[in-house]
Amino acid sequence: MGGSAVKLIDNYGRLIKDLRISVTPRCNLHCLYCHPLGWEQSEPPGTLSVEDVRRFMQAMQMLGLESVRFTGGEPLVRKELPEMIAAAKELGIPDIAITTNGLLFKRKAKALVDAGLRRINLSMDAVTPEVFRAMTRGGEVKKVWEAIETAWELGLHPVKINAVMIRGMNDGEVIPLAALSLDKPLEVRFLEYMHLDNSNPELYQQRFIPGAETKARIEAHFGPLEQIAHDPTAPARVYRIPGAVGRIGFINPVAEPFCSKCSRLRLTADKKIRPCLLTELEMDIAWAFAAPNPVEALVDAILLATQRKPAFGNTLPTLRQRVMVGIGG
């Protein structure tokens, strides 16, 4: 089934072509910037089924969908993930990706690739085992390395590494992380810490590191970075250390918001559309999944959600009803 010539445009002239689907709020790690301690996740009643996911992607495809990324929580804890990826492949969606912490990837990778997985983003906030363990509250960085090597073996390209930078926690890892791009075909992406964990606002401000500061530290060590052309709707600004095999990206939603170029909608595991990651705006669309003609109803819901997409998100420290682990990356 091919793509659609229809384009989905919001009230601010932005082309909406990318979809994030959170298939579960559950996760097997408790990362500092994502998962508040004391808040345990469970599958909500009415969690998205494989058929729900298929129908939503079909509706989005009728409106010009170009890429889908499956997220969580940790998407690999959903045993139905390969079926969801297969549904995307059957629909002919050209770009199919996941964002994962990698802990379960080695064991499940072949089934995912056989189903149609094209790309992978892996969370790795540190290369030093002790720092990684502190950031993730118990994770083992060797599992991420196993996931990277497995992705290479199975031909996934590019392999992207996401590192959220937090002052006093992993800011000493900037140079070792950047160095991974020197002789490995990795895109190491440095992300600004967003206030999506309901942390104390003063503590958040103390821990926040602007992306420009991270970039300056890398350039002080390796010399000026070479900018690489990129999709203007993509969140990362991409560079290369001169002579490096891989690339370095900076995602700076707080200090340098890119709302004016946002091309994404998000679907949560409990059947809500979030037009913007950094607002509380959600639309419950369980009614559309239950409609006699669900794909038609979902098209209507998507059109309405797109017109409600705000011009800007709120990057200030704010008490959020739903924290990052429950929204999806």
pLDDT digits (tens, 9 = 90+) for 168-212: 999 999 999 999 999 999 999 999 998 887 788 999 999 999 999
Alpha-carbon span 311 to 197, nearest angstrom: 23
Beta bridge partners, 9, equal 15
From the list 278, 272, 283, the residue with the least C-alpha distance to 308 is 283
Those residues with Cβ within 8 angstroms of residue 263's Cβ, 6 or more apart along the chain or in another chain: 14, 15, 16, 17, 18, 233
Per-residue confidence (pLDDT) for residue 2, from 0 to 100: 47
Q: Could you tell me the residue ranges of all domains in the chain? A: 18-327
Q: Are 317 and 203 in contact (CB under 8 A)?
A: no
As assigned by CATH, the class of the 18-327 domain is: alpha beta
pTM exceeds cut of 0.85:
yes
Alpha-carbon span 151 to 160, nearest angstrom: 10
> What stretches in the chain show pLDDT beneath 70?
1-5, 36-42, 325-326, 328-329
DSSP per-residue codes, 148-213: HHHHHHTT---EEEEEEEBTTTTGGGHHHHHHHHHHSSEEEEEEEPPS-S---HHHHHHHB--HHH
Alpha-carbon span 51 to 67, nearest angstrom: 18
Alpha-carbon span 301 to 289, nearest angstrom: 10
Q: Measured on CA atoms in the order 243, 244, 245, 249, is the torsion positive or negative? A: negative
